[in-house]
Amino acid sequence: MTEKPAESRLWGGRFTGATDPLMDLYNASLPYDQKMYAADLEGTRVYTQGLHKLGLLTSEELSEIHRGLKQIHKEWADGKFVEKPGDEDIHTANERRLGEIIGRNIAGKVHTGRSRNDQVATDMRIYVREELKKLAVLLKSLIEVMVARAEKEIDVLMPGYTHLQKAQPIRWAHWISMYATYFTEDYKRLQQLIERVNVSPLGSGALAGHPYGIDREFLAAGLGFSGVIGNSLVAVSDRDFVVETMFWSSLFMNHISRFSEDLIIYSSGEFGFVKLADAYSTGSSLMPQKKNPDSLELLRGKSGRVFGSLAGFMMSIKSIPSTYNKDMQEDKEPLFDSLTTVEHSILIATGVVSTLSIDAAKMKAALSMDMLATDLADYLVRKGVPFRETHHISGECVRKAEEEQLSGIDKLTLAQFQQIDPRFEENVFETFDFEASVERRTATGGTAKSAVLKQLAQLKQTLNK
């Protein structure tokens, strides 16, 4: 890297000697923070309006600065921005280029009263806010696809599992509604997170505040912020919004991972409930019969990547002293990676859900009569028998069927039922109906058709608020 004279750096006046070239490389963040070029330019545009309002820039100077900022934005957008040695970060690069376009005398005024400490905090909040808004749109689309699929396939029954053991019959739509509910809670948390991110640090200077009394509320409004951070020390050093963003990303990816694990299991030969589209599967380099759910495995695997980013950054900031420290530069790479991973994951999950096919016959065939043991207990409850007693009686029926090597408890004779408990009557055999079982669960949140449709309607209502 060609050495940049110390006096030409934003911070170079104090220094006369050259820095170690490796230190320049170690210190540089432009390779990854250039993502924020638009946020940085917009922050400068509004900040210079604030300086003009104070009388620190003339109207002509402001016009020239804004002309230069537009040109720089176009260069970045067109992929024609030329980086030069000494461009440590996006702020340095943009200000250097502005000086080349409009002259250093005018460009040198844009940083009046501003520090890179409040500048980078502002850029990051703008960038994160816009990225989170984008994620909200994509996440809403994923949930809508899931809800539409659940409504279409509402009549399909499947086993519900606890401990990965068959438990009770449920509707396939009920399973979809479960993850749609998780994702809707993520969507609601995302809206709350956007609100907390959307406060302005600009005008706080390096740490102590603005020396010229700039109107911070004016700056905040111009940048679309809902308000300002009330303490300048906090404004330049707060990275809680980064932690919260990565925590939200981790929690969302946890839900994506569980969703993926279920579908991986359901797509296996042992289950065969679902089949992924070719677009979201791959084959084996050795075994031609294989169709691997790689999309889902990657969704599951990338959750660890996002969790790791959060944990790593928490370790980076846990012991730094007050206000700005260079450790905080370690916020961008894990943050940007997490946001990109989440965005791609939502898009892949949406593609998987919208294109997979289900085998309703295999789902139905996987239902077994022992899954109605609780319904058998409920049969006696309706006759006034305490549930704890009926639970024991139903268990005896299951044991009796196993002893007799019957295919299910429904194969017991009435005499065998009555031998276990005389309160069983002929209508006990009406219990052994999977559709009737799910339809008995009409309470809010249940698996009856009416209950599932109500869940889906509530999810749509939440999304449309």
Residue 242 has pLDDT above 50, yes or no: yes
Spatial CA neighbour of 100 closest among 112, 88, 108: 108
* pLDDT value of position 20: 64
* pLDDT value of position 85: 87
Angle made by CA atoms 246, 251, 256, in degrees to the nearest 5: 120
In the set 163, 285, 319, 357, the catalytic residue is 163
Per-residue pLDDT of 250-277, as tens digits, reads 999 999 999 999 999 999 999 999 999 9
- d(CA 308, CA 356) in angstroms, rounded, equals 30
Sign of CA dihedral 425, 431, 436, 439: positive
Is residue 118 within 8 A of residue 201, CB to CB? The reply is yes
Residue 27 has pLDDT above 70, yes or no: no
Spatial CA neighbour of 151 closest among 182, 174, 183, 179: 174
* pLDDT value of position 401: 94
Residue 284 annotated as catalytic:
yes
- d(CA 461, CA 151) in angstroms, rounded, equals 15
* pLDDT value of position 86: 84
* pLDDT value of position 31: 85
- d(CA 198, CA 220) in angstroms, rounded, equals 9
In the set 63, 226, 268, 284, the catalytic residue is 284
Instruction: Please name the residues in contact with 165: beta carbons below 8 A apart, sequence gap of 6 or more.
Output: none
- d(CA 59, CA 111) in angstroms, rounded, equals 17
The pair of structure tokens assigned to 133 is 């808004």
167's enclosing H/E stretch is strand 165-171
Residue 45 has pLDDT above 60, yes or no: yes
Topology of domain 369-463, CATH: Ribonucleotide Reductase Protein R1; domain 1 (1.10.40)
Per-residue pLDDT of 346-404, as tens digits, reads 999 999 999 999 999 999 999 999 999 999 999 999 999 999 999 999 999 999 999 99
- d(CA 360, CA 145) in angstroms, rounded, equals 19
**What percent of the chain has pLDDT above 70?**
92
Per-residue pLDDT of 127-170, as tens digits, reads 999 999 999 999 999 999 999 999 999 999 999 999 999 999 99
Sign of CA dihedral 119, 120, 126, 129: negative
Write down the CATH number for the domain with range 6-107: 1.10.275.10
Give the mean model confidence (pLDDT) for residues 230-238: 97
Angle made by CA atoms 136, 331, 212, in degrees to the nearest 5: 95
297-318: b or e for each residue (b if 16 or more CB lie within 10 Å)? eebbebbeebbebbeebeebbe
Dihedral angle, C-alpha 349, 352, 353, 355, nearest 10 °: 150
Dihedral angle, C-alpha 395, 396, 398, 402, nearest 10 °: 140
162's enclosing H/E stretch is strand 157-162
**For the chain, how many helices (H) and strands (E)?**
19, 4
Predicted confidence band of residue 225 (pLDDT cuts 50, 70, 90) = very high
- On average, the pLDDT of the chain sits at 93
The pair of structure tokens assigned to 168 is 């009770």
157's enclosing H/E stretch is strand 157-162
Report helix, strand or coil for 358: strand
* pLDDT value of position 26: 61
CA 315 to chain centre: 21
* pLDDT value of position 1: 38
Q: Where are the domains of the chain?
A: 6-107, 116-365, 369-463
Half-sphere exposure of 394 (CA within 13 A, CB side): 23
- 309-312's contacts with Cβ under 8 Å and 24+ in sequence apart are 309/246, 309/249, 309/334, 309/335, 309/337, 309/338, 310/243, 310/246, 310/247, 310/249, 310/250, 310/334, 310/338
Spatial CA neighbour of 432 closest among 406, 411, 456, 461: 411
The pair of structure tokens assigned to 358 is 């289900």
Per-residue pLDDT of 441-464, as tens digits, reads 999 999 999 999 999 999 999 999
Per-residue pLDDT of 8-19, as tens digits, reads 555 455 545 555
pTM over 0.95: no
The pair of structure tokens assigned to 170 is 């449920």
Residue 105 has pLDDT above 60, yes or no: yes
Judge residue 151's burial from the number of C-beta atoms within 10 Å of its C-beta, 0-12 exposed, 13-18 middle, 19 or more buried: middle
CB count, 10 Å around CB of 461? 9
* pLDDT value of position 14: 56
* pLDDT value of position 398: 94
* pLDDT value of position 386: 94
Predicted confidence band of residue 284 (pLDDT cuts 50, 70, 90) = low
* pLDDT value of position 29: 81
- d(CA 373, CA 367) in angstroms, rounded, equals 12
Q: How many residues are given for the chain?
A: 465
* pLDDT value of position 465: 85
Instruction: Please name the residues in contact with 351: beta carbons below 8 A apart, sequence gap of 6 or more.
Output: 277, 279, 280, 295
- d(CA 9, CA 111) in angstroms, rounded, equals 13
Per-residue pLDDT of 192-202, as tens digits, reads 999 999 999 99
* pLDDT value of position 16: 54
CATH class as words, domain 116-365: mainly alpha
- d(CA 406, CA 370) in angstroms, rounded, equals 11
